[in-house]
Structure 1
Amino acid sequence: MTKRTRAKHKLDRRMGENIWGRPNSPVNKRSYGPGQHGQRRKSKVSDYGLQLRAKQKLKGYYGDVTEKQFKATYLAASRMKGDTGQNLIGLLEQRLDMVVYRAKFAPTVFSARQVVNHGHILVNGVKCNIPSRRIQVGDVISLGNKAKEMALIIEAQSLPEREIPDYVSTDGNDKVTFTRVPTLDEVPYPVRMEPNLVVEFYSR
Structure 2
Amino acid sequence: MSKRKTQKYKIDRRLGVNLWGRPKSPFNKRQYAPGQHGQRRRKPSDYGLQLQAKQKLKGYYGSIGEKQFRKYYEEAERRKGDTSENLIELLERRLATVVYRAKFVPTVFAARQFVNHGHVFVNGKRVNVPSYSLRDGDVIEVANAMKDNQLIAEGVDAPERDVPEYIQVDHDALKATFLQAPKLADVPYPVQMEPNLVVEFYSR
Is this a same-fold pair by TM over 0.5? yes
Contact 1:3 1:65 in 2 (8 A): no
> Is the aligned partner of 1:11 residue 2:14?
no
Contact 2:169 2:175 in 1 (8 A): yes
Query: 1:149 Cα deviation (Å)?
Result: 1.1
Q: What is the SS of the residue equivalent to 2:5?
A: coil
Which residue number corresponds to residue 29 of structure 1?
29
Query: 1:33 Cα deviation (Å)?
Result: 1.7
> Is the aligned partner of 1:181 residue 2:181?
yes
Which amino acid in the other structure matches residue 182 of structure 2?
P
CA distance in 2, matches of 1:65, 1:33: 21
Q: What is the SS of the residue equivalent to 1:65?
A: coil
Which residue number corresponds to residue 118 of structure 1?
117
CA distance in 1, matches of 2:7, 2:195: 25
Query: 1:16 Cα deviation (Å)?
Result: 1.1
**RMSD of Structure 2 on Structure 1 (CA):** 1.3
Q: Which runs of 5+ in 2 are unaligned?
A: none
Q: Which structure 2 residues correspond to residues 154-169 of structure 1 after superposition, within 5 A?
A: 154-169=153-168
Q: What is the SS of the residue equivalent to 1:6?
A: helix
Which residue number corresponds to residue 140 of structure 2?
141
Q: What is the SS of the residue equivalent to 1:149?
A: coil
Contact 2:156 2:171 in 1 (8 A): no
Contact 2:84 2:199 in 1 (8 A): yes
Which residue number corresponds to residue 128 of structure 2?
129
CA distance in 1, matches of 2:39, 2:154: 36
Query: 1:77 Cα deviation (Å)?
Result: 0.4
Contact 1:5 1:64 in 2 (8 A): no
Query: 1:172 Cα deviation (Å)?
Result: 4.3
**How many residue pairs end up in the alignment?**
202
Q: Which structure 2 residues correspond to residues 65-84 of structure 1 after superposition, within 5 A?
A: 65-84=64-83
Contact 1:97 1:131 in 2 (8 A): yes
Q: What is the SS of the residue equivalent to 2:36?
A: coil
> Is the aligned partner of 1:192 residue 2:202?
no
CA distance in 1, matches of 2:35, 2:63: 24
1:132-160 deviation per Cα after TM superposition (whole angstroms, max 9, x unaligned)? 00000000001110111111012211111
Query: 1:3 Cα deviation (Å)?
Result: 5.9
CA distance in 2, matches of 1:171, 1:32: 39
Moved more, 167-176 or 137-146: 167-176
Structure 1 segments (4+ residues) deviating >2 Å: none
Which amino acid in the other structure matches residue 61 of structure 1?
Y
- Cα distance change of structure 1 residues 64 and 32 upon mapping to structure 2, 3 Å threshold: closer
Query: 1:52 Cα deviation (Å)?
Result: 0.5
TM-score for both structures, normalised by structure 1:
0.95
- Cα distance change of structure 1 residues 193 and 3 upon mapping to structure 2, 3 Å threshold: farther
Q: What is the SS of the residue equivalent to 1:116?
A: helix
CA distance in 2, matches of 1:65, 1:186: 22
> Is the aligned partner of 1:43 residue 2:42?
yes
Identity %: 62
Which amino acid in the other structure matches residue 46 of structure 1?
S
